[in-house]
């Protein structure tokens, strides 16, 4: 890794070595990561991934790690964090933000500018890049409803490109970025409507209250663990299967909302993985419904 460290220093890219993986994902589990790099602009992104490709260095991309679990054995490679890609620009009713901006910061910036349409995003964990990647949504709103375009880095061509909403293949918790892992979201543009800032804040507060009342926000988790299966609700299926409160090690099906797997304390990545598999197996056996996990397990 000396060659990599020299490259990062020469290109003024912030980095840390031997990073505790628990700090990088919202579940607070995982072993150590060899190197964590934090590029701060598109130029550094392009240079870094070109170097990683040329030197065949294993790497993964993270925003805020809200849907990722790092292996207990850690990750022998480079974790590239987009948290420094965090510019927010507002022009009239258009807001353009970097991929590292949190969904909460995006929603708050829109509210303060008197722009409505992103109230649903204020309680979604994770970054804008991750939100675009999975077409995140809540309470009837989705990223695809308000995003007009995004700027991406294509690792296969080494070019920075722009994609229109219609080119992103958005569907329920799905996008082109899940299909093509060579595409990295750098920024996204949203077209919103004018509104009253106080009314927008009241709506955001209302949705926040609903989350606090119904979700186990006091525990580390990845938010909703499973995608909503056609014709069903994952949480209800899990509860009806008798799994509410079911525990594997430190991982538990939340007693507050069965759609959440939480870290009750001391959970490992394997605890979470084993619990997810048990839930999927049990629901399939009882109801013949396949639950698709939203979490990505990194080995």
Phi-psi region of 240 (alpha: psi -120 to 50; beta: other; left: phi over 0): alpha
Residue 224 bears catalytic tag:
yes
Instruction: Provide the β-strand partners of residue 138.
Output: 141
List CB contacts of 112: < 8 A, sequence separation 6 or more. 197
| Pairwise CA distance, residues 155 & 148, whole Å | 22
| 173 assigned to active site | yes
CA distance 39 to 19: 16
Write 60-64 long-range contacts (CB < 8 A, 24+): 60/298, 61/184, 62/24, 62/25, 63/99, 63/100, 63/126, 63/127, 63/128, 63/129, 63/130, 64/26, 64/102, 64/125, 64/126, 64/127, 64/130
Tell me the CA distances in angstroms from 74 to 111, 242, 262, 264, one per residue in order: 39, 33, 20, 21
| Interior angle at CA 58, CA 53 and CA 61, nearest 5 | 90
> Is the Cβ–Cβ distance between 279 and 292 less than 8 Å?
no
For residue 294, indicate whether it is catalytic: yes
State the sign of the Cα–Cα–Cα–Cα dihedral 278, 64, 49, 186: positive
Beta strands 296-298 and 247-248, pairing class: unpaired
* 92: exposed, middle or buried (Cβ count in 10 Å: 0-12, 13-18, 19+): exposed
Marked catalytic residue, from 26, 102, 224, 254: 224
Selected catalytic residue, list 71, 173, 221, 254: 173
Active site residues: 173, 224, 294
């Amino acid at each position: 890794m000396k060659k990599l460290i020299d490259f990062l220093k020469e290109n003024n890219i912030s980095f840390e070595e031997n990073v505790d993986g628990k700090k990088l994902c919202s579940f607070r589990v995982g072993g150590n990561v060899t190197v964590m790099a934090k590029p701060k602009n598109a130029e550094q992104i392009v240079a870094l991934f070109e170097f990683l490709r040329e030197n065949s260095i294993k790497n993964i991309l993270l925003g805020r790690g809200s849907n990722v679990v790092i292996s207990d054995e850690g990750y022998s490679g480079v974790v590239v964090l987009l948290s420094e890609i965090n510019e927010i620009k507002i022009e009239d009713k258009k807001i353009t933000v970097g991929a590292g901006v949190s969904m909460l910061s995006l929603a708050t910036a829109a509210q303060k500018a008197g722009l409505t349409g992103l109230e649903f995003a204020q309680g979604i964990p994770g970054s804008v890049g991750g939100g675009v990647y999975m077409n995140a949504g809540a309470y009837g709103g989705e990223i695809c409803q308000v995003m007009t375009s995004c700027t991406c880095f294509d690792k296969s061509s080494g070019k920075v490109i722009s994609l229109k909403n219609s080119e992103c293949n958005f569907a329920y918790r799905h996008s082109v970025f899940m299909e093509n892992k060579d595409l990295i979201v750098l920024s996204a543009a949203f077209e919103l409507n004018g509104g009253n800032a106080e009314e927008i804040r009241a709506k955001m507060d209302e949705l926040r209250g609903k989350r606090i009342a119904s979700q186990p926000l006091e525990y580390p988790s990845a938010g909703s663990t499973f995608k909503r299966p056609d014709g069903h609700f994952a949480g209800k299926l899990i509860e009806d299967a008798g799994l509410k409160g079911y525990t594997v090690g430190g991982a538990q099906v939340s007693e507050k909302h069965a759609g959440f797997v939480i870290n009750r304390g001391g959970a490992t990545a394997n605890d979470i993985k084993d619990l997810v598999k048990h839930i999927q197996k049990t629901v399939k056996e009882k109801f013949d419904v396949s639950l698709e996990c939203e979490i990505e397990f990194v080995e």
